[in-house]
Amino acid sequence: MLGGLLALLGLVMGFRSLSPIAAEAAASEEPPLGPLPWRAIVTLTIAPIVFAMTVRSLGLALATALCVGIVCFASPRMTLRMALGVIVGLTIICVGVFSFGLKLTLPLLPTFMVG
């Protein structure tokens, strides 16, 4: 069901991008190229690798929190308070969706925390 919703969303976005209105707006709003956002490129590349390496040992909740914490460093405007809110919020959503909603068989917490 989730895959179907994502496919439908992709199709809708694809068709909207092909409309004449979208092409006209894109041509008139072409921004100048700036410097490469190296911080974002590095953190967004490292985060899924760290998640894949830690999800079995740390559990879904802590691996997700760690991954989201790494991604928060992608923006130089991110504050500690904002980062903590994003980490807590996305961790709760991901655990809810993947552990309880989809019933994945990943451990929720590491074994040293649950006994």
pLDDT tens, residue by residue, 60-111: 999 999 999 999 988 888 899 999 999 999 999 999 998 888 888 888 888 7
Q: Are residues 48 and 20 in the same domain?
A: no
Q: Are residues 104 and 83 in the same domain?
A: yes
> In angstroms, how far is the first alpha carbon of the chain from the final one?
35
Taking 80 as the threshold, does the pLDDT of residue 33 lie above it? Answer: no
Q: Are residues 93 and 51 in the same domain?
A: yes
Contact 64, 91 (CB under 8 A): yes
% of the chain exceeding 90 in pLDDT: 41
Q: Are residues 49 and 86 in the same domain?
A: yes
Q: Are residues 92 and 70 in the same domain?
A: yes
Q: Are residues 44 and 26 in the same domain?
A: no
Q: Compute the C-alpha angle 82/85/89, nearest 5°.
A: 140
pLDDT of residue 18: 78
- pTM exceeds 0.75: no
CA quadruple 88, 91, 95, 97: dihedral, nearest 10: 110
Q: Are residues 103 and 57 in the same domain?
A: yes
Q: Are residues 75 and 101 in the same domain?
A: yes
Which distant-in-sequence residues (6+ apart) come within 8 Å of 44 by Cβ? 71, 74
Q: Are residues 15 and 47 in the same domain?
A: no
Q: Count structural domains, the chain.
A: 2
Q: Are residues 46 and 87 in the same domain?
A: yes
pLDDT of residue 53: 93
Range(s) of the domain holding residue 54: 37-114
Q: Are residues 50 and 20 in the same domain?
A: no
Q: Compute the C-alpha angle 91/95/96, nearest 5°.
A: 115
